[in-house]
């Protein structure tokens, strides 16, 4: 298994079916992982414990990585696709039905829009966008208040169906794209950083 890209492509489903034993998967862990995915969450390699102010290895990520072939087949059998972002070190699922694709597109639009506004705010205030993902730097309630005071950003929050920008940041945290520390302070997860980097790369190519 390639440690930088655990999901192998091009393997025939019939071969997987013969050689993989889905029964070896722990039902409780598998159910918990599936619940996280169906709630629109991604699973990062590293989580963050705000009470201890330290990062930790997410056990669900480790379990997914260990049984990635089995989970890939399992989700394929129920019409979903397990995906892995090597740069951000996180797992997520793609839904194959039209209705679920629409919901996934909405999640992506919301996430990208929030991150774009955060990045723009950091540029305007003379800070590096990369600081967003540094736990000792990140962003705080003052940044959220400044963003909330901008009429254009207010309109964007409303268009994204958020009551305010605090709710937008909560959305990032709930999905796994940002973490909250113990002092009204926030920073982007590796997944949030990967999204930001992708948007910067796309902008540079324009």
For the chain, 206 residues long, give each residue's pLDDT as a single digit of tens: 444 556 554 455 554 554 557 778 999 999 999 999 988 899 999 999 998 889 999 999 999 999 999 999 899 988 899 999 999 999 999 876 656 666 667 888 999 999 999 999 999 999 999 999 999 999 999 999 999 999 999 999 999 999 999 999 999 999 999 999 977 899 999 999 998 888 777 766 65
Same domain for 107 and 64: no
Q: Which candidate, 114, 128, 103, places its Cα nearest to that of 169?
A: 114
Contact 104, 95 (CB under 8 A): yes
**Residue corresponding to tokens 């998967």:** 25
Q: Assign residue 47 a region: left if phi > 0, alpha if psi is -120 to 50, beta otherwise?
A: beta
Which residue, of 47, 64, 96, is where some domain finishes? 96
Bridge partners (DSSP) listed for residue 140: 185
* Helix intervals (H) in 3-88: 13-19, 27-38, 59-66, 68-77
Q: Which candidate, 50, 52, 200, places its Cα nearest to that of 118?
A: 200
Same domain for 110 and 21: no
pTM for the whole structure: 0.85
pLDDT tens-digit profile of 148-203?
A: 999 999 999 999 999 999 999 999 999 999 999 977 899 999 999 998 888 777 76
Same domain for 142 and 69: no
Same domain for 180 and 140: yes
What is the rounded CA–CA span in Å between residue 201 and residue 178? 20
User: What is the domain range of residue 150?
Assistant: 99-205
pLDDT value, residue 186 = 97
Same domain for 91 and 105: no
Domain-located, residue 2:
no
Same domain for 174 and 111: yes
Q: What is the CATH number of the domain that holds 24?
A: 1.10.10
Which residue, of 79, 96, 113, is where some domain finishes? 96
pLDDT value, residue 13 = 56
pLDDT value, residue 3 = 46
């Amino acid at each position: 298994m390639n440690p930088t890209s655990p999901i192998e492509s091009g393997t025939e489903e019939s071969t997987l079916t013969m050689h993989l034993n889905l029964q070896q998967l722990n039902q409780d862990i598998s159910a918990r992982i599936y619940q996280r995915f169906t709630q629109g969450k991604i699973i990062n390699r590293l989580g963050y414990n705000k009470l201890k102010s330290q990062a930790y290895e997410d056990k669900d990520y480790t379990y997914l990585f260990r049984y990635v072939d089995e989970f890939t087949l399992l989700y394929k059998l129920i019409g979903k696709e397990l995906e892995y972002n090597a740069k951000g070190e996180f797992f997520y699922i793609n839904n194959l039905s039209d209705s679920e694709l629409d919901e996934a597109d909405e999640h992506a639009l919301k996430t990208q829009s929030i991150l774009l506004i955060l990045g723009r705010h950091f540029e305007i205030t003379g800070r590096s966008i990369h600081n967003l993902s540094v736990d000792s730097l990140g962003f705080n309630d003052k940044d959220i208040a400044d963003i909330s005071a901008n009429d254009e950003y207010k309109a964007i929050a409303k268009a994204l169906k958020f009551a305010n920008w605090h709710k937008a940041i909560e959305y990032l945290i709930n999905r796994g794209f940002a973490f909250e520390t113990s002092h009204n302070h926030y920073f982007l997860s590796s997944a949030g950083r990967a999204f930001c980097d992708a948007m910067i790369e796309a902008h540079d190519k324009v």
